[in-house]
Amino acid sequence: MQGTPTAFPLVPPRGPSRSGLLAVIGLSCVWLVLNFLLLLLAPLQSVDGGVFRTLIAVAPVAVMWLFYLAGTTTPKAMTALMVIILIVSELSLRNRALNDTTADPQNLVKLIFWGAGMLVALLNWRHLRQALREPVFVAMTLYAVWAILTSIYSPIFTYSFASGFAFLSVLFFAGVIRQVVAPRTLLKASIGALTPLLVIALLMYVLVPDRAMALMEAGNIKRLAAPLGTPNSLGRVAAIVFLLCFVGWRLGWLKLTSPFLWVSVGSAVGCMVLSQSRTAILAASLALAAVLLVRRPFRFLIVASALLAGGLLFSISETDPRDIAKAVSRTGSVSEVTSLTGRTQIWAFAWQEIKKAPVLGYGNASTKYYMPLKFRTFWGWTSTHVHNMWLQIWFTTGLVGVVLLFGVFLTQFLYWRKSRDLLSFVFLIFAFTIGLSEAAFINGVPSVLTAIWFFWLAGPKNTAVATANAGSLTPTRAPWQLARQ
C-alpha cells in the first residue's frame, strides 16, 4: 500500500554551487586583506582595540559563510548560527551608561548575527511559511511587527527599530530551524553553547573575582555577573541550562552517566547560587513542578497537602514574618523584600506614565530612554525596563501590545494542550514566571531567553523532523527507564 504523503514534506538540502563557493572565498580573502592593510596603516594602541579589531575582521567573514551555508538549508550551518546567537546575545565585554543607545562595535557584531537570522529565514522561505501555519508563531509575529511599528514614535527611533528588527529576526530564524533541525540536536547544541559561559563565570569567580562580581544594592552586595551583563542575566542562563538538562534526561536524550550532563548541571547550579537570582530559581522551580505535577493527580495532592500543612504550622507558630523576610533578603533589610528590591516603586512610576498613553504606549523599548531620565529608587539606582513584562509592554507598545502578547501565551498554551510538547510547556511556564519581575527578554534586544523561548514555541510541521519529537508529558516509560536508552 502506498503511504500517505505528508502535508509538508521535508525539503532536501541543496548542494552549494561552485560559483557561489568561489564568490564567498574571494570576498573573504579581499576583506581579510583589507583589514591587514588597515592594521599596517593604523597600528593597535591597546589590547581592547585588538579585540574589537579582530571581531570586526572575523565577524563579517563568519557571517558570510553562515549565510552561504544556511541558505542552502544545511542543518549544521543553521545549528552553528544558533549557537553563535545564543553565545553573543547577552555576552558583555564592555561597560557603558544605561541610557546609551549608540551602535558600538559590540552591538554591531550582535546585530550582524541577529540579522543573519532574518536573511537565513528569507532564503528558506518555504520553511518559514510552514512555521507561520502554527497559531502561536503567527501570534508572536504579530506582536513583533507591532513592536517595530511603534518605534516610529519612540524618542530613540534607531535603537527601538533595531531592537525590534533583531527580535523579529531571531523569531523567524527560530521558526525555520525548527523545521530543519531535530529537537534532540537543538537541545544538545543549546546546552553546548551556554555551558561554556557558565564555566567561564565560575573560573572568573575563582581567578579574578573583582572582575567577575557586580556591586548591587547601592554597592552593599556582590553578585556573580561576568561574562554576561548582569547577575540576573547569568541566573536566567543558568536556569535555562538546568531546565534543558532536566528535560533532556527525562526524554532520554541525555544519560545520567554523561560527563557533559553533570558539568552543565553543576555549572548551572553554581551560577544560580552565586548570582543570587531569586527570580530565575523560582521560575525554574515552578517549571519543574509543573512538569512533575501536571496530569499527576496523586503527586499534586501530596504537594498540595504538604503546602497546606506547612501553612497551618506557620500560622500557629510564633515565627515573626519579618525574620523570614530578613533571611530571604540579600541585605538583611525587610524593605528589600516588601518592595521586591525596589520593583514596587518602578511599577508605581510605570503605571503613572502608562495612564498618559494607554493605547499606543511610548514606542518599542523606549523605557531605555525614559526611565534613566525620570526615575530613581530610594536606593539611588535606576533601570532600563519596568521589571514586569505586562507593564513593560503596556508602557512601550500600549494596550494593543498587551492584547497581542496575551494572545501569544494563550495560543502557546493551546498548542501544548494539543501536542503535549514538553519543551514548549517548560519554557512557557519559565518565560511567564520570569516576566513577572523581568521584561528585557520580551521588549528590547533579544536575550538568551528570547531565543530559547522562540526555539520551543511550537514543534516542526515537517514529519521527517518531527519524528524526533519534543516528547510528551506522559511518557510511556518512567524517567529512569528513559535514561537508560
For 11-21, the pLDDT digits (tens) are 444 444 556 66
Lowest mean pLDDT among 164-173, 191-200, 312-321: 312-321
pLDDT at 141 over 90: yes
Task: Note the pLDDT of residue 72.
Answer: 60
Domain positions in the chain? 71-482
Task: Note the pLDDT of residue 49.
Answer: 63
pLDDT at 469 over 50: no
User: Rounded to the nearest 10 degrees, what angle do helices 343-354 and 367-374 cross at?
Assistant: 110
pLDDT at 164 over 90: yes
Better-scored residue on pLDDT, 435 or 318? 435
Give the pTM. Answer: 0.83
Task: Note the pLDDT of residue 458.
Answer: 86
- Segment 393-421 shows an average pLDDT of 95
Using one digit for the tens of pLDDT, what is the confidence trace for 229-238? 789 999 999 9
Rounded to 10 degrees, the C-alpha dihedral 97/99/105/110 comes to 120
Task: Record the cell numbers describing residue 235, joined without a space.
Answer: 541566573
Task: Note the pLDDT of residue 9.
Answer: 40
pLDDT at 42 over 80: no
Amino acid type, 171: L
Using one digit for the tens of pLDDT, what is the confidence trace for 369-386? 998 888 876 666 778 889
Better-scored residue on pLDDT, 337 or 397? 397
Using one digit for the tens of pLDDT, what is the confidence trace for 54-98? 777 777 777 777 666 656 657 888 888 899 899 988 887 766 666
pLDDT at 424 over 60: yes
pLDDT at 470 over 80: no
**How far apart, in whole angstroms, are the C-alpha atoms of residue 77 and residue 65?**
9
pLDDT at 353 over 90: yes
pLDDT at 134 over 90: yes
Task: Note the pLDDT of residue 235.
Answer: 95
The pairs formed by 94-103 with CB atoms below 8 angstroms and a separation of 24 or more are: 94/48, 97/372, 98/368, 98/372, 98/382, 98/383, 98/384, 99/368, 99/369, 99/372, 99/373, 99/384, 101/156, 101/158, 101/159, 101/368, 101/369, 103/158, 103/162
**How far apart, in whole angstroms, are the C-alpha atoms of residue 17 and residue 199?**
40
How confident is residue 4, by pLDDT bands cut at 50, 70 and 90? very low
Using one digit for the tens of pLDDT, what is the confidence trace for 313-331? 666 766 766 666 666 676 6
Task: Note the pLDDT of residue 167.
Answer: 95
Task: Record the cell numbers describing residue 373, joined without a space.
Answer: 531620565
Task: Note the pLDDT of residue 454.
Answer: 96
Nearest 5°: phi and psi at 91?
Answer: -70, 130
pLDDT at 132 over 50: yes
Task: Note the pLDDT of residue 118.
Answer: 87
